Amino acid sequence: MSNRIDIKKTYKLYIGGAFPRTESGRTYEVKSSKGVFVANPCLASRKDLKDAVVAARSAYPGWNKATAYNKGQIFYRIAEMLEGRRSQFVDEIILLTGVTKLKAEKEVSESIDRLVWYAGWSDKLSALAGSTNPVAGPYYNFTIPESMGVVGVIAPEAPSLLGLIDAIAPVIVSGNTCIALASSKAPLPAITFAEVLATSDLPGGVINILTGKSSELAPWFASHMDIDGLDISGVPTKLRGELRTAGAENLKRISSFSAASPDRILAFMEAKTVWHPIGN
Amino acid sequence: MTFEYAPAPESRSSVSISPKYGHFIGGKFVAGTKHFPTINPATEEVLSKIACGTKSDVDAAVKAARKAYVGTWSKMSGKERGKYLFRIARIMQERAREFAVLETLDNGKPIRESRDVDVPLAAAHFFYHAGWADKLEYAGLGTSTKPHGVAGQIIPWNFPLLMLAWKVAPALATGNTVVLKPAETTSLTALLFAQVCQEAELPAGVVNIVTGDGSTGALIVNHPGIDKIAFTGSTEVGKIIARAVASTKKSVTLELGGKAANIVFDDAPIDEAVEGIINGIFFNQGHVCCAGSRLVLQENIADEFLEKLKIRMNKIRVGDPMDKNTDLGAINSQEQLLKIRELTIAGDKEGAQRWSPECALPSKGFWFPPTIFTGVTQGHRIAREEIFGPVLSVLTFRTPQEAIDKANNTPFGLSAGIWSEKGSRIFWASQQLRAGVIWANTFNKFDPTSPFGGYKESGWGREGGRHGLSAYLKGFSHE
C-alpha cells in the first residue's frame, strides 16, 4: 500500500453545473502552509466571468421560481453532503493554512451549521421583511421581498470555506443566483465545495465558483452590466471605493458584511409593493 | 351634445410671494448673494427671485444642521421629536390652500392635483412618520439602529412639496437633521415650508433649506460634513452621485427614472383601463418618474382600445393650471419642453406614428399636447428613454409572456401596471414584472404607508412605510 502512487485531483472552475478549465489556459501555483506545491488551480479570466454570468442568468428564473420549502430542503441537502465529506475539507484547510485540526474541524462545523441556519430562512423572509400596508383608500396593498437576480460574491481570503459559505448562502437562499470568486490563497476548499454542490440537487448555474486573483477579477465583477448586486466583504476596505465607482454604471447594489444576519439576505433583495382596488 | 365649461379659476389671494428670497439656515431666513428668477411656467410671469446657494451657504447650513443634531435633536426623545412632526402635519393642513396655489403657480400643475394630491399627501407623510418617531425599536430593523446624523436631501421639480415631505419626514422621525435643496425651478413651497417649521417651533437648524441649481446640489453631495445623501431625480445624476460618494462613508438612497409599462390584457375592463392609461401618463403632465409611459397592449383589442383612448384624450382639458377644471397643465420649464420635443421628433424620425387631439395651447408659457405614438418598437428611443412629459408610446403583444418580456426590457424598474379581470393572471404578472411598485387595475396611487422605490437603474432604497425608515438609520449588520 505504501508504494501506491495516489491520484491527485485537477482543480477546475465550476460554471453552469460543470467543471470546465479556464478558457484562458492560465493556472497559478498553490502551496501548502509549509511551502510545498499542492495544486495548479485555474487563474480565471474576464471571459470565464462572462460565461459564469450567462450560466447564472440562465439559472435564475428556475431557481427564483422554486418554492421556499424546496430551496430550504436543497440547502439542507448541501449541509448533508458537506457533513458527509467533512474530513476532506478539514484536510485541505490544514494543508493550506497550517491551522490545528481542532480549528479546521471548527470551521467545517460552522460552515455546515451556517447552511442549516440559512436553510430555515427561505420560508420566513416574507414574514420578516414583508408587510400589508393600510393605505388611506379602498386598496389592498402589500409589500414582499424578492430576489434581485444575479449577484457577485468576492469571498474573503480567510477563512476560505466558512467565508465562502457565509457570502454565498444569504445571496442564493432568496432566489438569486451567484458567481463567487474563491479565496486566492486557499481556493481548494471552494472547488471541493463545488463537488458538494454538484451532488446536492442544486440546479447547475445557481452557484458558480471561480478561482483566481481578486485584484484582476473584482473590477470586472463591479463593472459587469448583467450583475445586479455585489458582496465585497472579501475586498480590502481601501479597494472598495474603486469597485463602488465601477458598479455605479448599472447602479449595482454593493454591500459588505461583518456577521451572518438576515440583513445579509435582504441586502440582495428588492421590496415589491402591489396595489389592487377593493370593490364588489 | 358638447359641454362647455365656464372658467373656474382658483384665487391667488391666499398667497403672498416676496420679490426675493434667501436661504433658511439655523431657523432663520438669511440673504443670498446671487439670485435667479423663478417663473410661472404657464404664463412666464416672474414670481420671485431665488438665491443660488454657494459654498459658504452650504457650509453654514451643514454647520447649523450638525449643531442642531449634536446639541438638540439627537438628545431629544422620540416622543418629543414626533410631536414636532405632528405639529408640522397640522400646520400644513391648515395652510393647505396656500400651499396648493403656490405649488400650481410655481410648478404649472393643475390646481386640482396640487389641492387633492400633492398637499394632502405631503401632510399625511408627516403625520405618518410622526407616529414612528417613538416606535423605531418596533420597526423590525434591529434594536441598535441609530440616525446617520446630517442628511443632505436633493429633490426634483415634479412634486416639489410632496418630495420634500418624502425626504424630510422620515429623516426627522428617525432623528437626523437635514440640509434640503429644492429644485431650481420650484423653490417656493419649500420656502413656505420653512415658515411652517418656524410656526411649529422646530428647533433651529433641524431643517435647513438651501436653494440653488445643480452646482449647489453638488456642493451638498460632496460636503464632508454630510453623513447621508437622499436624492430624487434623473438616473443620469443618480449615477454621478453614486460615483461621487463611492469612496466615502456616506450612505445613499436614490429615487430615479422610470419607463413603466402599463399592460392591458384582452380580458381587462376596457373603460376602466382607458381611464387608468390616461391617469398613468397624463397625471402631472407626465412629469412622473413612475408614469405609465409605455402602453403594452394585447394585439387583438388594440384597435378598439386605441379608438376609445383617442376619444377619451379628446376630452382632456389643457390650459390654465389655476382653473379647477384643467386636466393637463403647463410643462415645468423651457428646458423640459425642449427635451420632450427632441424625443418626440426622434419618435417621428424612427417611424412611429404620432397622434394628438385638436387642442388650442396658450400662446405664453410652456405647453405640450397630450400625445400618443403607435407603431412603436422596443428599439425606438421613445420606448427606451424617459420622456417625462405627456407622451405615451404604444407597443403590442400576443401572449402574456411577450407582454412581460417587453415590459421588463428596460434598464429601469420603478413601476408597472396590469389591467386584467383574471386574478391568477394579475398575481402571475406581478411576480414576473421587475419593478418596485405594481399597480393592478389602478395606477399612480401613493400613500405614506406604502413603500415606493425601484429595481435596477431606478434607484437604491425605498421611501414610505416601514421599509423607508431603514434609509435613515444605520446599525444593521451590513457595513
Domain ranges for chain A, please list them: 30-277
d(CA B291, CA B277) in angstroms, rounded, equals 10
Considering only CB atoms, B442 lies closest to which of A133, A228, A277, namely A277
Asked if B436 lies within 8 A of A136 by C-beta distance, the reply is: no
Range scoring the smallest mean pLDDT among A141-150, B68-77, B140-149, B155-164: B140-149
Considering only CB atoms, A263 lies closest to which of B435, B460, B478, namely B478
Give chain A positions within 8 Å (CB) of B445: 135, 137, 139, 275
Mutate to test the interface with A, among B441, B447, B457, B474 (most CBs of A within 10 A): B447
The predicted model gives B255-267 an average pLDDT of: 98
Indicate the average pLDDT of chain B.
97
Mutate to test the interface with B, among A132, A143, A150, A240 (most CBs of B within 10 A): A143
The predicted model gives B396-422 an average pLDDT of: 98
Give chain B positions within 8 Å (CB) of A248: 239, 242-243, 246
CATH dotted code for A30-277: 3.40.605.10
Quote the pLDDT of residue B479: 45
CATH of B23-256+456-474, one of 3.40.605.10, 3.40.190.10, 3.40.50.300, 3.40.366.10: 3.40.605.10
B261-440 is classed in which CATH architecture?
Answer: 3-Layer(aba) Sandwich (3.40)
Q: Chain B within 8 Å of A29 (Cβ-Cβ)? A: no
Q: Helix, strand or coil for residue B377?
A: coil
Give chain B positions within 8 Å (CB) of A256: 478-479
Query: Chain B residue with minimal CA distance to A251?
Result: B457
The predicted model gives B401-414 an average pLDDT of: 98
Of B103, B184, B197, B289, which one is the catalytic site residue?
B289
The predicted model gives A23-51 an average pLDDT of: 97
Separation in Å, CA of A262 to nearest CA in chain B: 9
Asked if A135 lies within 8 A of B447 by C-beta distance, the reply is: yes
Answer whether B170's CB lies under 8 Å from B129's CB.
Answer: yes
d(CA B296, CA B382) in angstroms, rounded, equals 13
Q: Which residue carries 472579501 as its cell?
A: A234
Quote the pLDDT of residue A3: 87
Judge residue A158's burial from the number of C-beta atoms within 10 Å of its C-beta, 0-12 exposed, 13-18 middle, 19 or more buried: middle
Mutate to test the interface with A, among B450, B452, B458 (most CBs of A within 10 A): B450
Asked if B438 lies within 8 A of A272 by C-beta distance, the reply is: yes
Separation in Å, CA of B62 to nearest CA in chain A: 24
Instruction: Flag whether pLDDT at B2 surpasses 70.
Output: no
Cis ω on the peptide bond leading into residue A159 (within 30° of 0)?
Answer: yes
Considering only CB atoms, A276 lies closest to which of B440, B466, B478, namely B440
Instruction: Flag whether pLDDT at A259 surpasses 90.
Output: no
Of B255, B386, B457, B463, which one is the catalytic site residue?
B255
Instruction: Flag whether pLDDT at B477 surpasses 80.
Output: no
More confident call, A253 vs A280: A253
The answer to whether residue B289 is catalytic is yes
Mutate to test the interface with B, among A147, A243, A261, A272 (most CBs of B within 10 A): A272
Give chain B positions within 8 Å (CB) of A252: none
Query: Chain A residue with minimal CA distance to B446?
Result: A135
Give chain B positions within 8 Å (CB) of A128: 140
The predicted model gives B457-462 an average pLDDT of: 97
Asked if B450 lies within 8 A of A244 by C-beta distance, the reply is: no
Residue A67 DSSP class: -
CA dihedral angle for residue B219, residue B223, residue B229, residue B235, rounded to 10 degrees:
40
Give chain A positions within 8 Å (CB) of B466: 131
Give chain B positions within 8 Å (CB) of A249: 239
Digit-coded pLDDT (tens) for A88-116? 999 999 999 999 999 999 999 999 999 99
Distance of CA A53 to the CA centre of its chain: 13
Residue A248 DSSP class: G
Considering only CB atoms, A257 lies closest to which of B439, B453, B479, namely B479
Burial of A184-223, coded b for 16+ CB within 10 Å and e otherwise, reads bebbbbbbbbbebbbebebbbbbbbbbbbebeebbbbbbb
Quote the pLDDT of residue A2: 72
Residues of chain B with CATH 3.40.605.10: 23-256+456-474
Asked if B450 lies within 8 A of A128 by C-beta distance, the reply is: no
Give chain B positions within 8 Å (CB) of A251: 235, 238-239, 242, 254, 256, 456-457, 459-460
Asked if A276 lies within 8 A of B441 by C-beta distance, the reply is: yes
Q: Helix, strand or coil for residue A165?
A: helix
Q: Chain B within 8 Å of A279 (Cβ-Cβ)? A: no
Indicate the average pLDDT of chain A.
97
